[in-house]
Amino acid sequence: MSDVETITAYYAAFNRGDWDAMCAFLAEDVAHDLNQGKRETGRDVFRAFLARMERSYKEQLRDIVVMGGPAGRVAAEYVVEGTYLATDEGLPPAQGQTYTLPGGAFFDLTAGKITRVTNYYNLQDWLAQVGA
């Protein structure tokens, strides 16, 4: 499977809500750069992040474009269609607000496993959409 195919399959798993399949694409020591946050390291830490996301958000990605660069480097652009289900720590109260938000991500891969995921979206846009 090429690097682009790996990321395409990773996002297909996301849209199915199949966190185990998503995590199977990750290296054990994956680095996850949170949007406007700190770096977290490790597949188990990433899985805990997904559990938090599942509790607070229901999201689907559309218009996904995956772009390959030099071997081991991939980028993706997409639009998130979401519902804010439960208040996430440090964020405004959730009341079932819906949002549409463009986003992007950058990946490093080694031997077919994702070793870095860096996510970007406009937090101020999201806050405005959920009524902050």
Per residue in 65-76, pLDDT (tens digit) is 999 988 899 999
What integer is the mean pLDDT of 100-117? 97
Question: Cα torsion for 96, 100, 104, 110, to the nearest 10°?
Answer: 50
| pLDDT reading at 132 higher than 80 | no
Residue range(s) defining the domain that contains residue 46: 3-129
What integer is the mean pLDDT of 93-108? 97
What integer is the mean pLDDT of 96-118? 97
Please check whether residue 30 is in contact with residue 117, taking contact to mean a CB–CB distance below 8 angstroms. Answer: yes
Looking at the chain, the number of H-run helices and the number of E-run strands are 4, 6
Measure Cα distances from 82 to 55, 99, 102, 109 in Å.
13, 5, 11, 28
Its pTM stands at: 0.93
CATH label of the domain that carries residue 20: 3.10.450.50
The count of domains in the chain is: 1
